């Protein structure tokens, strides 16, 4: 796929021969009632995590030229676009480092091989613009508390915050972590995130599942001094959860104060608590994030301090300790009635492995998405990670795309993030095989629908006729017929449709 093209065409109509001639455009008539086709949801988030830590996904190794890094990133995006994805979650701060130009933290070692070394370019504007070019949201993924993969501050760049403030850190499991119990740490993390939100055109701020570190046998996380100073009579576990909750609330407020439209969400470990720990927990028997890493995702939902939760449900259906379907139902029950959206994190990296017999079945992921859609609460899916998106183990992603993503989808609307539908596209016309129109003010993208021969317009109901989401005011069609074009703001509030007729030559 050519990376500089403005339009990305999707769906079964691609490849058909056609011709077109210019016709006067008009606002499409209101559509008659259509029964929604569950196979083609109108709005659904479809994303992939792009992990930079230890060069898991990108850059594929350290020390590459900027040209090679750009080409590898574009390859990931094109693979996602081909499967009608509409969001990427890119790790921009793996361990108190930066994949962008920062005055607060040093350049990431995963760019050049040397922590603090200037790579000679600022990757973030490119990463964002290439996503937007393909109609994808860009979520900047931050790890809040990991300070270093080693435990020797002397090996860190001189300007590294952990080296300048060793009192902020705790050594644990051979690594350095910022102490979540210190107000100064929360202030620093919030400042780092606010800096990125203010300077770059990101669409979301994203945390993964790392809060207090996952337990290491025989080791103690030594935050006793901070607990004595700031515990205020709470029990240790309660205090630790409160520290995380406070950071989440502060980041939520800072992000939305800086730019209201930027989303903030978290991808927690898939089990909040087990029913054996708490009657409100899930019927599972795995690790409890609430008790082990002090992540109380249920509290974030109840307080509304996140826009979405994206639990990592990396188990198959029928798993003895953590059944996928059981967990989907639990999370759906938790968000129902709230303003918090629910997406599901899928373990693409496990497909084809021997972790469980279910992962040797090419259709497991596809069946999981089908199960998620059945409940009508889940509003999307994100896959870990980009490496397997490219390698397509067992052909699972092709099967998934064919079964569930054969049409594009608009992003789910978030009313709290504001936005307003742009004006309908003006001056729409067809010339040859090319549709074009005048750009609409405040439009991030445009949706292109092809009506069936019957003329029945269901574009407001589902995506059965959605053939493309494009970032520029043009689209080259490959089939004659009647097309509808709408304008989308950055949050995918959608305008009224304009109709354009494309005739055979």
Could you read off the pLDDT of 353-369 as tens digits, one per residue?
A: 998 999 999 999 999 99
pLDDT in tens, 118-158: 999 999 999 999 999 999 999 999 999 999 999 999 999 99
pLDDT value of residue 478: 86
**Contact status, residue 496 vs residue 28, Cβ threshold 8 Å:** yes
Band (1; pLDDT cuts 50, 70, 90): very low
Token reading at 174: 């051979």
pLDDT in tens, 177-213: 999 999 999 999 999 999 999 999 999 999 999 999 9
pLDDT value of residue 10: 26
Q: How many other CB atoms are there within 10 angstroms of residue 370's CB atom?
A: 15
Residue 98 above 50 pLDDT? yes
**Contact status, residue 252 vs residue 198, Cβ threshold 8 Å:** no
Tell me whether strands 308-309 and 26-27 are parallel, antiparallel or unpaired: unpaired
Cα 204 from Cα 493, distance rounded (Å): 16
Cα 222 off chain centre by: 33
Cα 302 from Cα 340, distance rounded (Å): 9
143 versus 478: the higher-pLDDT residue is: 143
Which one, of 328, 241, 332, lies nearest residue 288 by Cα?
241
pLDDT value of residue 2: 28
If you average pLDDT over residues 279-307, what whole number do you get? Answer: 98
Beta strands in 277-400 (DSSP E): 308-309, 312-313, 341-342, 344-346, 380-383
Residue 400 above 70 pLDDT? yes
If you average pLDDT over residues 417-437, what whole number do you get? Answer: 95
Domain ranges in the chain with CATH number 3.20.20.80:
45-408
pLDDT value of residue 33: 83
pLDDT value of residue 341: 98
Q: Which residues contact 131 (CB under 8 A, 6 or more apart)?
A: 77, 88, 90, 137, 138
The DSSP letter of residue 422 is: P
**Contact status, residue 473 vs residue 479, Cβ threshold 8 Å:** no
Q: What percent of the chain has pLDDT over 70?
A: 93
Band (12; pLDDT cuts 50, 70, 90): very low
**Contact status, residue 270 vs residue 312, Cβ threshold 8 Å:** yes
Instruction: Return the CATH class of domain 26-37+419-502.
Output: mainly beta
CA dihedral 251, 195, 109, 141 (to 10 degrees): 40
Residue 16 above 50 pLDDT? no
Residue 219 above 90 pLDDT? yes
pTM for the model stands at: 0.93
Cα 23 from Cα 1, distance rounded (Å): 30
Q: Is 258 left (phi over 0), alpha (psi -120 to 50) or beta?
A: alpha
pLDDT value of residue 22: 39
If you average pLDDT over residues 432-452, what whole number do you get? Answer: 96
pLDDT value of residue 28: 55
Cα 287 from Cα 274, distance rounded (Å): 8
> From edge to edge, which strands make up the β-sheet containing 175-178?
146-148, 175-178, 169-172
Token reading at 357: 């017999």
pLDDT value of residue 280: 98
Helices 183-199 and 236-258, axial angle in degrees (round to 10): 20
Cα 296 from Cα 242, distance rounded (Å): 9
Over the chain, what is the mean pLDDT? 93
Helices 324-335 and 364-374, axial angle in degrees (round to 10): 30
If you average pLDDT over residues 329-345, what whole number do you get? Answer: 98
- Cα–Cα–Cα angle for 364, 369, 371, nearest 5°? 90
Instruction: Return the CATH class of domain 45-408.
Output: alpha beta
Domain ranges in the chain with CATH number 2.60.40.10:
26-37+419-502
pLDDT value of residue 432: 82
User: Per DSSP, what are the bridge partners of residue 414?
Assistant: none
Residue 9 above 50 pLDDT? no
Name the one residue in this structure whose structure tokens are 């409890």: 288
Which one, of 41, 45, 134, 153, lies nearest residue 96 by Cα?
153
Token reading at 125: 């504007």
Token reading at 132: 């937007």
If you average pLDDT over residues 171-176, what whole number do you get? Answer: 98
If you average pLDDT over residues 427-450, what whole number do you get? Answer: 96
């Amino acid at each position: 796929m050519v990376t500089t093209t403005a339009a990305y065409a999707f769906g079964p109509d691609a490849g058909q021969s056609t011709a077109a001639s210019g016709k006067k455009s008009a606002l499409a008539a209101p559509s008659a009632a259509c029964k929604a086709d569950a196979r083609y949801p109108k709005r659904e988030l479809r994303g992939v995590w792009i992990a930079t830590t230890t060069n898991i996904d990108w850059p594929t190794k350290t020390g590459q030229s900027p040209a090679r890094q750009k080409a590898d990133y574009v390859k990931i995006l094109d693979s996602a676009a081909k499967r009608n994805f509409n969001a990427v979650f890119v790790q921009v701060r793996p361990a108190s480092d930066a994949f962008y130009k920062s005055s607060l933290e040093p350049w990431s070692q995963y760019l050049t091989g040397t922590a603090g070394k200037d790579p000679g370019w600022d990757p973030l504007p490119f990463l964002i613009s290439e996503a937007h070019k393909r109609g994808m949201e860009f979520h900047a993924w931050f790890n809040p508390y990991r300070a270093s993969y080693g435990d020797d501050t002397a090996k860190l760049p001189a300007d590294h915050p952990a080296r300048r403030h060793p009192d902020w850190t705790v050594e644990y499991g051979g690594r350095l972590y910022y102490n979540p119990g210190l107000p100064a740490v929360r202030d620093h993390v919030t400042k780092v995130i606010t800096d990125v939100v203010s300077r770059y055109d990101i669409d979301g701020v994203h945390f993964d599942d790392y809060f207090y570190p996952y337990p290491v046998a025989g080791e103690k996380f030594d935050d006793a001094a901070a607990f004595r100073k700031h515990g205020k009579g709470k029990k240790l576990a309660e205090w630790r959860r409160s520290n995380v909750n406070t950071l989440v609330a502060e980041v939520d407020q800072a992000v939305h104060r800086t730019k209201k439209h930027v989303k903030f969400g978290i991808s927690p470990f898939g089990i909040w608590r087990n029913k054996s720990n708490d009657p409100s927990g899930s019927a599972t028997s795995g690790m409890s994030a609430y008790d082990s890493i002090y992540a109380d995702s249920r509290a974030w939902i109840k307080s509304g301090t996140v826009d979405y939760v994206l639990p990592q449900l990396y188990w198959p259906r029928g798993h003895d300790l953590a059944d996928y379907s059981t967990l989907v139902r639990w999370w759906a029950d938790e968000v129902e009635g709230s303003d918090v959206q629910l997406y599901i994190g899928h373990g693409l990296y496990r497909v084809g492995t021997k972790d469980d017999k279910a992962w040797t079945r090419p259709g497991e992921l596809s069946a999981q998405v089908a199960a998620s859609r059945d409940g009508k609460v889940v509003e999307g899916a994100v896959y870990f990670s980009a490496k397997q998106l490219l390698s397509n183990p067992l052909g699972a992603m092709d099967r998934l795309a064919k079964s569930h993503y054969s049409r594009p989808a608009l992003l789910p609307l978030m009313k709290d993030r504001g936005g307003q539908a742009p004006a309908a596209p003006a001056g729409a016309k067809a010339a040859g095989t090319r549709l074009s129109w005048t750009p609409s003010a405040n439009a991030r993208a445009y949706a292109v629908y092809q009506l069936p021969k019957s003329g029945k317009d269901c574009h407001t109901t589902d995506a059965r006729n959605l053939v493309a989401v494009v970032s520029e005011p043009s689209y080259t069609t490959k089939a004659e017929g009647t097309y509808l074009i709408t304008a989308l703001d950055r949050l995918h509030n959608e305008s009224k449709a304009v109709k354009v007729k494309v005739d055979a030559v």
